[in-house]
Structure 1
């Protein structure tokens, strides 16, 4: 693919180049992970974990430390997006204003796509709101007003259920409310992460947008799939999610592919293990040994995924609670052979 084939992404007054975004993922995309992604390069826009707006307000009112999910945000390089969720427009606006004024974030993103029951059925937020377009409009429009000129974006799914796909209507609502970009995950909320993302359906949404860019998301687990997304589907940018958790170098590979350059090879198994240990040290520096070791269990499983012996490693690393135990399990059990 020629280097000139893919234009940078414009989100309001912000230029994202390359147009490859790192998805916000709860429990994973913290400052340590973002630092490692930056060290490899290739991601045009990074994002925090999603932040509970109501919880943020409660901490603020009680003069407590702001959420751990905002760790690093004030000081790390830009551009950077912070994703927030709730179902109350006033609460969301209050938090959006603080993120812009106090943290100086580049983008405020609204989560209308999370399918997890705790967010949807219990809190009536995330993808639950896809059934309430006018409420979405109110949330977006209030955020746009208080955050200006910082752009506000929205992330959605195709709908709540395969029998109730309303992404075209939602796309129009999102743009009319003033959002600067729309990201669409190619599954419904009921699908969770089962099956395959429907990129044809994502692509069809473009016709329902007048001026704002469309960002496609779902199943992008190789540089080749990223290139195909731009070549075959009508999207302005892509967002990489779960596939990057154990492969933070995926962005640099995808960016090279878009430029028409040779794709950097996968790091060796030893190099991948060393990246994971670097990640662990960053988390320990922030949270201390005990909490960091527990947090790192899930990351370690991601780094091992797809390798021969990954299940055996997961069994052992899931039990560690000290730094010594973590290093011992990695030394003895981390897979150093790719899967067949």
Structure 2
């Protein structure tokens, strides 16, 4: 059931007072109703651990997992995908996002995730706009043009995963000339999904322009019983508060803005409670946070691969700081832990932009 407005809430001239109630996805309680988005190449176990240490996210998610690749690995007795690293042992609730266009394959993987990994939520990616997923694999946001197939994927996954809830993440449509999110929302609910997340851009937009939260909010009237989660451009605690105050959503999902700021969830959660918003960590603390993140990555992937993987995170941590470009130039060349740590010591920006 969708979150119900409690006694502390009301609508006053279209503005909802805070705090919002916890979000319910099936039997999973998401409190606070702030979700960490699944992001390919970024939201691995090390990143999730950094977010967890600061707190504030009611539900975290893995990177998206290719269902067909998972099945191939399983059939060939290979190690399961790196993107499932840490999932079996992490605190709950935790969502795993999967993608493909074959209902039977998706159902098979969903059942494995529930039976073997005991995940809290299985999320379906119907929003990825990347060409390799859309045009080459006819998956992700490509499926927004095929509601019948979406319905069958969701239906079979819901049946295979029960009673674990299945959710879906979509965009507004494939293009600005073909915005069909209202129709898709009804399809998602009718197929049995327990929640819907909507990114407020079309697939054609990628990440250009601004997310359309008015469009996201309009979708709520097309849902009868499941919660609506809004996603797009939430890069501050104040914007999270505004999303709940101005728009008809039951939860919010923070994506790219958190990659170099894992403390953003804690700030947003405090703001929703009406508490003072914690200050950003000091520059030295941010640097130390990044180095702890680096240690976790190297521990899992080894010195060489871990260093290569961490370079993109390091750029995120430096974003918005004076001298970030200079730092990125150097850290992009790091190939060993010693080089990485030396570059961080010498070049990591310790001043914010004016």
How would you bin the TM-score normalised by the shorter chain? over 0.9
Q: Secondary structure at the match of 1:210?
A: coil
Aligned match of 2:141: 127
Aligned match of 2:217: 203
Aligned match of 1:309: 323
Structure 1, unaligned runs of 5 or more: none
Output one character per residue of 1:316-339: Cα deviation in whole Å (capped at 9) or x when no partner.
111111011101110111000001
Structure 2, unaligned runs of 5 or more: 1-7, 10-16
| Superposed counterparts of 1:213-252, under 5 Å | 213-252=227-266
Report the Cα offset of residue 4 of structure 1.
5.8
Which of these residues, 174, 181, 186, is aligned with residue 200 of structure 2?
Answer: 186
Structure-2 separation of matches of 1:140 and 1:74: 24
Which of these residues, 98, 122, 125, is aligned with residue 111 of structure 1?
Answer: 125
Aligned match of 1:137: 151
Output one character per residue of 1:258-315: Cα deviation in whole Å (capped at 9) or x when no partner.
0000000000000000000000000011011000000000000000000011011111
Structure-1 separation of matches of 2:325 and 2:162: 48
Runs of 4 or more, structure 1, over 4 Å off, are 1-4
Structure-2 separation of matches of 1:243 and 1:130: 26
Aligned match of 1:11: 25
Determine if the alignment matches structure 1 residue 37 to structure 2 residue 80: no
Determine if the alignment matches structure 1 residue 327 to structure 2 residue 334: no
| Superposed counterparts of 1:156-171, under 5 Å | 156-171=170-185
Structure-2 separation of matches of 1:297 and 1:189: 27
* 2:303 and 2:337 in contact (8 A); partners too: yes
* 2:18 and 2:245 in contact (8 A); partners too: no
Aligned match of 2:166: 152
Output one character per residue of 1:16-66: Cα deviation in whole Å (capped at 9) or x when no partner.
100000000000000000001000000000000000000000000000000
Aligned-residue CA RMSD (Å): 1.0
Determine if the alignment matches structure 1 residue 280 to structure 2 residue 280: no
Q: Secondary structure at the match of 1:74?
A: helix
Determine if the alignment matches structure 1 residue 271 to structure 2 residue 261: no
Aligned match of 1:99: 113
TM-score when scaled to structure 1? 0.99
* 2:74 and 2:80 in contact (8 A); partners too: yes
Report the Cα offset of residue 199 of structure 1.
0.2
Determine if the alignment matches structure 1 residue 296 to structure 2 residue 310: yes
Report the Cα offset of residue 5 of structure 1.
3.0
Structure-1 separation of matches of 2:217 and 2:224: 14
